[in-house]
Amino acid sequence: MKNIRNFCIIAHIDHGKSTLADRLLSFTGTTTAREEQAQLLDNMDLERERGITIKSHAIQMDYPYEGEKYILNLIDTPGHVDFSYEVSRSIAACEGALLIVDAAQSIQAQTISNLYLALENDLEIIPVLNKVDLPGANPEEVTDDIVDLLGCDAEDVIHASGKTGFGVENILKAIIEKVPAPNGDVNAPLQALIFDSVYNSYRGVETYFRVMNGEIKKGQRIKFVATDNEYNADEVGTLKLTQVPKQSIKAGDVGYLITGVKAASEIKVGDTITDAINPTQNIIEGFEDVKPMVFAGIYPVDTEDYEELRNSMEKLQLNDASLVFVPESSAALGFGFRCGFLGMLHLEIIQERLEREFDMTVITTVPNVSYHAFTNKQPNDILLVNNPSDLPEPSKLNRVEEPFIKATIITKSDFVGPVMSLCIEKRGQVTNQTYLTPERVELMFDMPLAEIVFDFYDRLKTVSKGYASFDYHPIGLKASKLVKVDILLNGTSVDALSALIHADNAYTIGKKMCEKLRQLIPRQQFDIPIQAAIGAKIISRETVKALRKDVTAKCYGGDISRKRKLLEKQKKGKKRMRQVGNVEIPQQAFMAVLKLND
């Protein structure tokens, strides 16, 4: 066990984690020249196209150093803030972390929040200054920033380049010398932590785990503590570029397990695996439950695909434990699911993965939260409003209560002004402001949850140039003056586009929604009125003009009454068409409502 090293790579998005991981793999001879390709561990097409890591990946490398053979388990983690849940799981399975900082971009928000996550888990941090070969690199200044952040010496910062492979040998040397070997008792009862799981359509669920104590053998009867289910370990092994089956995996090592489980819900990430006959008494402290930031409805385009969509979502939930969903229905869209996401990027990724991996074309509705409504008839009976269309008529309504949260934002002192004005614009009230250091400020706000589900997170990152971390917890419900803004297309209300909005903002948002939809809805043979309404009162209107055919083109000269007759005839046809014609709403229209400020 003393020759095992478990480490992960943490960094801000686009600081070169995956490229550096490629260099480590080729330097240790884990991959041959034939197998090499850019972003080797990112095996999803979507990850390669966007150049981002969405799932964390584990791989084992063998490396001889000073006459001894070492086993290095690397877990590559995502950098984007929406996937910080993946990062927290990977960190819990490691003893060390490579903190990578781009020599051209310096330290950024995610670097800091992932670093704190690693320090909370007592990980040994190895700072690496990447991309030192870039013409825009500024190694001396960025090294000083790293020294200030970590309190290490400037000599400890390893200079490297993921592109050329410069400095890779020093990184491997630092991993072996500085990262502590895992400590665990091979003779104790089995205790292993599940840090990831992948769905394989041929073999069921593949569980990735790290053994803390004891050992896991092929054919052993094992038990998952959280679900209390028992299985046989059909196959265990280590994760090289391909899976390598082994007879047993001992304490300190990382591996995969196949039990033949087909149902996604049976394996909980963060759960403890133990021996069914001789279970461990110490359950590993689990991860905190994932907190969805954005809730939206996902519906199949064809209602008959509802069951298929449910199966796809369950399989996707297995690959992405941070997706939460419950069934719901809508008048315009039929049956679907209300889903919780970590942020807008997460929502886009899930939608794209459903389309690519499962061939499911879906419609996503406007994000919102759950409200409590009270009617005049029964002022004490709570009516749960999950969908704006469930809200009673304004005349029958007594009051609406909406969930409030206590938001904690940590940012650099330069951005206090913009962050405060953003929160106040979102109906937030400042409750506290603390300077943690002369550079970093902690701001506390009470604000409605509904205001953060739209575009709050993305705008917070923009106004703070990425230097803001955000956390929240619910503090109960408060009565608010909310109104339901309906969108009518061609006189028909579209419930998937309606939203509950504070009365003060209703007019502005209604107007923006109409303007946005006018740009997105394709022109038809007839005029399409787009209206925003509160109850029976229309607050805004835009019109998508009809496509016109020039009926007077063949009428050279002649009397005006002749032209008039042709135009009147065309007008009648358009009127009849408008009565029977229905307006197709493109998918972007549902998403565009979220990006009203762009």
| Per-residue pLDDT at 548 | 74
* CA 117 – CA 146 distance, rounded (Å): 17
Arithmetic mean of pLDDT over the chain: 76
Q: Are 375 and 398 in contact (CB under 8 A)?
A: yes
Residue type (1 letter), 84? S
Q: How many helices and strands in the chain, by DSSP H and E?
A: 14, 31
Residue type (1 letter), 500? L
Percentage, residues of the chain above pLDDT 90: 0
Residue 356 token pair: 């690519």
| Per-residue pLDDT at 385 | 74
* CA 396 – CA 535 distance, rounded (Å): 12
Q: Which is more confidently placed, 454 or 334? A: 334
Mean pLDDT for 216-238 is: 82
* CA 336 – CA 334 distance, rounded (Å): 7
| Per-residue pLDDT at 13 | 65
481-499: pLDDT as tens digits: 888 888 888 777 777 777 7
- 238 pLDDT higher than 50: yes
- 197 pLDDT higher than 80: no
| Per-residue pLDDT at 313 | 86
Among candidate residues 119, 117, 123, the one with its CA nearest the CA of residue 84? 117
Highest mean pLDDT among 94-98, 144-148, 582-586: 94-98
Residue 367 Cα distances to 202, 324, 332, 447, 454, angstroms: 35, 14, 16, 17, 7
DSSP string, 392-428: PPTTTEEEEEEEEEEEEEEEEGGGHHHHHHHHHHTT-
Among candidate residues 494, 545, 544, 487, the one with its CA nearest the CA of residue 511? 487
Other beta carbons within 10 angstroms of residue 595's beta carbon come to: 13
Mean pLDDT for 260-279 is: 73
Mean pLDDT for 113-129 is: 79
- 103 pLDDT higher than 80: no
Highest mean pLDDT among 243-247, 249-253, 338-342, 424-428: 424-428
Mean pLDDT for 285-310 is: 75
SS (H, E, C) 310-358: HHHHHHHHHHCCCCEEEEEEECCCEEEEEEEECCHHHHHHHHHHHHHHH
Among candidate residues 324, 316, 320, 348, the one with its CA nearest the CA of residue 458? 348
Sign of CA dihedral 585, 587, 593, 597: negative
Mean pLDDT for 543-571 is: 79
Percentage, residues of the chain above pLDDT 70: 80
Residue 500 pLDDT level (bands cut at 50, 70, 90):
confident
* CA 8 – CA 58 distance, rounded (Å): 9
Binding region for GTP: 14-19, 130-133
**Residue 525: which residues within 8 A CB-CB, separation 6 or more?**
546, 547, 574, 577, 581
Mean pLDDT for 169-182 is: 81
Highest mean pLDDT among 95-99, 131-135, 582-586: 95-99
Task: Print burial letters for 220-242: b (CB count within 10 Å at least 16), e (below 16).
Answer: bebbbbeeeeebebebbbbbeee
Among candidate residues 77, 70, 57, 146, the one with its CA nearest the CA of residue 106? 146
Q: Which is more confidently placed, 200 or 232? A: 232
Residue 42 pLDDT level (bands cut at 50, 70, 90):
very low
Residue 85 Cα distances to 12, 56, 279, 453, 467, angstroms: 14, 10, 28, 18, 19
pTM, two decimals, is 0.66
572-598: pLDDT as tens digits: 776 666 555 566 666 666 666 656 655
Binding region: 14-19, 130-133
464-476: pLDDT as tens digits: 877 777 766 678 8
* CA 220 – CA 276 distance, rounded (Å): 9
Q: Are strands 294-300 and 334-341 parallel, antiparallel or unpaired?
A: antiparallel
Determine what percent of the chain falls in helix, strand and coil, rounding each to the nearest 5. Answer: 30, 35, 35
**Residue 315: which residues within 8 A CB-CB, separation 6 or more?**
199, 264, 358
Region of poorest pLDDT, from 27-36, 40-49, 177-186: 40-49
Residue type (1 letter), 145? D
- 55 pLDDT higher than 70: no
Which parts of 525-598 fold into alpha helices (H)? 560-580, 587-592
Residue 20 token pair: 């550096």
Residue 113, SS3? helix
DSSP state of 374: E
Residue 420 token pair: 């405060």
